[in-house]
Amino acid sequence: WRLFCFLCALPCVASAILGYYYVPESPRWLCTHGRTQEALAILKRAARVNGHRSRDSHADRTRTRSDFPYPDGLQIESTSVPKEEQHSLNFARLLNKKWRMLTLKLWGTWLSFAVGYLGTVLIISRVFSASSDKGGGKGPGHQQLQDGDMLDTQTARYYDFDYRAIFQSCAGEVLGLTMAVFTIDRFGRIPTQVVSYAGGGLSLFLLCYFADNDNSNFKSEQQEQAPTRYYILVLLSFVARAFEMGATCVTWVSTAEILTTEIRTSGHSAANAIARLGSMMIPYLLVESTPLTTVGYFMLFVHIFAIMCSLQLPETNGVAMGAGMAKTS
């Protein structure tokens, strides 16, 4: 598992390095710091990449409105933030009167989606596994057996995972991402989040309801004994992963669009930190001794809470960046 974690970390490191050198700075942020020429250069480069001609490349008589990277008459002006105010742009400002309610709603959404997503992963792994006692333990740690199963050497408990079913459920995330891409602009950010969280919560509840609470009857070799029930569980786990992925993707996009430039970085990172707290708590909440039916009710409540928080957020589809905040003010 150490090698697997290392390989998963490589794309993150590579994207961070490439992003530092190739992702341009925000023109809005540059303008707030008086660096208008740099902002203009980035806008012109973006115009060229999107097939628009620069204002300076042709005579006025040859230009049409569609050639311009920004509307006629728009001027890039400095809106520098005073130094004393720049120092106040920290996480504490997220809880002042202007931002407090929006921040709490975002934190509630992010906490819910972290608990929901990681909870889904843990529940599916539990449903498609079996365990049995093997005698006295030998000390802390796990030992991999020849057939690929795991033995907890402290409790001498034997774990058998149905890796095929777990992999099939993971494939649902591809569908969830695809659905989010095609629905986020057509139906809006908030409706897409609400439907995705509702679908994820319902499918997780049904998955826990239909699965055995003793967690011992769903090994892959027993698939032939109850094929209908087995495939229902696989289908529900697939659907749950799809809805969870769609919901989280839209929440990421919506958050960046809701927050204005002055607070976007701090607000987004703070919401992400709240989500990490939820991720750390969920393994202690979904312990193996808790019946799956109880787990299902808990996850259903988490998703209802996510829906309630999402419904309180402003819709940003077709709205200028940061303008969604004006609706809540």
pLDDT reported for residue 306: 95
pLDDT tier, 216 (very low <50, low <70, confident <90, very high otherwise): very low
Query: What pLDDT is attached to residue 307?
Result: 96
The phi and psi torsions of 266 (rounded to 5 degrees) equal: -65, -40
Nearby residues of 28 by Cβ (< 8 Å), 6 or more positions away: 39, 261, 321
Mean pLDDT of 225-230: 74
Percent of the chain with pLDDT over 90: 37
**Which two three-digit tokens encode residue 152?**
């907890």
Give the Å distances, CA to CA, from 126 to 1, 134, 142, 257, 301.
18, 19, 17, 36, 20
Residue 296's pLDDT band, with cuts at 50, 70 and 90, is very high
Among 89-98, 209-218, 229-238, which stretch is predicted with the lowest mean pLDDT?
A: 209-218
Nearest by Cα to 310 from 103, 99, 109? 109
Percent of the chain with pLDDT over 70: 71
**pTM across the whole model:** 0.73
Instruction: Give the residue with greater pLDDT, 216 vs 203.
Output: 203
Q: What is the DSSP letter of 328?
A: H
The burial of 271, by beta-carbon neighbours within 10 Å (0-12 exposed, 13-18 middle, 19 or more buried), is given as buried
pLDDT, tens digit, 9 for 90 and up, residues 189-202:
999 999 999 999 99
Taking the C-alpha atoms of residue 118 and residue 198, their distance in angstroms, rounded to an integer, is 16
Alpha-carbon distance 279 to 285, whole Å? 10
Which tens digit of pLDDT belongs to each residue from 42-72?
888 888 887 776 555 444 444 444 444 454 4
The predicted-structure confidence for 133-146, as pLDDT tens digits, reads as follows 544 444 444 444 44
Phi, psi of 75 (to 5 degrees): -120, 140
- Residue 243's pLDDT is 96
CA distance 329 to 313: 12
* Residue 242, pLDDT above cutoff 90: yes
Give the residue, 89 or 271, on which the prediction is more confident: 271
In sequence order, which residues have a C-beta less than 8 Å from that of residue 85 and are 6 or more positions away? none
Residue 271 or 145, more confident: 271
Neighbours of 68 (CB within 10 A): 15
Closest CA to 28 of 46, 54, 10, 51: 46
